Amino acid sequence: MVVVVSDLRGGDPDGGTAYAWPTLAGFLLGFAVGWFVGRITASQRRMSGVLDSMLDAVVIGSAVRDGSGRLVDARVTYGNAGAATVLRVGSDGLIGRPWSDLWPGIVPADLNTALLRALDRHEVLELTDYVVPGANGAHPRVLDLRATPLQDDLVVTWRDVSARHRDARAVELANAQFAAAFEHTPVGMLLVDPTHRILRTNEAFAAIVGRPLVELTGTSMDPLVDPRDVDEWRTAFEHLTSGVAQASRYECRLLTVDGSSRWVSVTAAPIQDASGAYVVEHVEDIDDRKGFEARLQFLADHDPLTGLYNRRRFAEELAHHLGVDGRYGGSSAVVLLDLDNFKYINDTLGHQVGDRFIRAIATQLRQRLRDSDVIGRLGGDEFAILLPGADEAQAVAMTAAVLDGIRYTVVQHSGQRVRSTGSAGVAVVKAGGVHPDEVLANSDLAMYAAKEAGRDTYTVYDPTGPHSEQARSKFRWLERIRLALDHDLFTLLAQPILDLGKGEVTGCELLLRMRDGDRLIGPDIFLPIAERHGLANLVDRFVIGHAIALIAQQQRPAGFRWEINLSAESLGDPGIPELIERHLAQTGVSPDALVFEITETAAITNFDNAQAFAARLTSIGCRFALDDFGAGYGSFYYLKHLPFEYLKIDGEFIRQLTSSDTDSVIVEAIVGAAKKLGKQTIAEYVGDAVTLDRVRQLDVDHAQGYYIGRPVDPGAAAVVPVPREPHATP
**Domain range summary for the chain, segments of one domain joined by +:** 53-161, 185-290, 310-472, 488-703
Is 82 a residue whose pLDDT tops 50? yes
Residue 258, Ramachandran bin (φ over 0: left; ψ between -120 and 50: alpha; else beta): alpha
pLDDT bracket for residue 25 (50, 70, 90)? very low
Is 400 a residue whose pLDDT tops 90? yes
Question: Is 566 within 8 Å of 627 (Cβ atoms)?
Answer: no
- Say which range, 266-275, 450-459, 540-549, has the weakest mean pLDDT: 266-275
pLDDT of residue 35: 45
Quick: pLDDT tens for 640-668: 677 788 999 988 899 999 998 888 998 99
Nearest to 318 by CA among 310, 617, 31, 458: 310
pLDDT bracket for residue 604 (50, 70, 90)? low
Domains 53-161 and 488-703 share a fold: no
pLDDT of residue 252: 93
Average pLDDT over residues 235-240: 91
The larger pLDDT score, comparing residue 373 to residue 33, is at 373
Helix (H) or strand (E) holding 703: strand 702-703
Phi/psi of residue 315, nearest 5 degrees: -60, -40
The larger pLDDT score, comparing residue 3 to residue 565, is at 565
Distance CA 357, CA 349 (A): 11
- Say which range, 448-452, 558-562, 724-728, has the weakest mean pLDDT: 724-728
Is 9 a residue whose pLDDT tops 60? no
Distance CA 76, CA 155 (A): 10
Classify domain 488-703 at the CATH topology level. Answer: TIM Barrel (3.20.20)
Quick: pLDDT tens for 312-346: 899 999 999 998 888 888 889 999 999 998 888 87
Q: Which residues pair with 494 in a beta bridge?
A: 510, 712
Average pLDDT over residues 452-480: 80
Distance CA 100, CA 73 (A): 7
Would the pTM count as exceeding 0.85?
no
Nearest to 430 by CA among 334, 573, 303, 340: 334
pLDDT of residue 19: 42
Helix (H) or strand (E) holding 629: strand 623-629
Average pLDDT over residues 104-118: 75
Average pLDDT over residues 433-451: 86
Average pLDDT over residues 264-269: 92
pLDDT of residue 728: 39
Nearest to 725 by CA among 697, 695, 698, 690: 690
Residue 181, Ramachandran bin (φ over 0: left; ψ between -120 and 50: alpha; else beta): alpha
Is 6 a residue whose pLDDT tops 50? no
Thinking of the domain 310-472, which architecture would CATH place it in? 2-Layer Sandwich (3.30)
Is 40 a residue whose pLDDT tops 60? no
Nearest to 571 by CA among 537, 542, 601: 537
- Say which range, 50-64, 383-397, 422-436, 692-706, has the weakest mean pLDDT: 50-64
Quick: pLDDT tens for 130-171: 887 766 667 787 888 899 998 888 898 888 888 888 887 877
Q: What is the CATH number of domain 185-290?
A: 3.30.450.20
pLDDT bracket for residue 631 (50, 70, 90)? low
Question: Is 427 within 8 Å of 442 (Cβ atoms)?
Answer: yes
pLDDT of residue 470: 67
DSSP string of 365-419, one letter each residue: HHHHS-TTSEEEEEETTEEEEEEET--HHHHHHHHHHHHHHHHT--EEETTEEE-
pLDDT of residue 471: 64
- Say which range, 50-59, 255-264, 331-340, 450-459, has the weakest mean pLDDT: 50-59
Distance CA 451, CA 340 (A): 8
pLDDT of residue 643: 79
SS3 state of residue 530: helix
pLDDT of residue 2: 31
pLDDT bracket for residue 514 (50, 70, 90)? very high
pLDDT of residue 544: 94
Q: Which residues pair with 144 in a beta bridge?
A: 159
pLDDT of residue 600: 64
Q: Residue 300 has what DSSP assignment?
A: H
pLDDT bracket for residue 210 (50, 70, 90)? very high
Classify domain 53-161 at the CATH topology level. Answer: Beta-Lactamase (3.30.450)
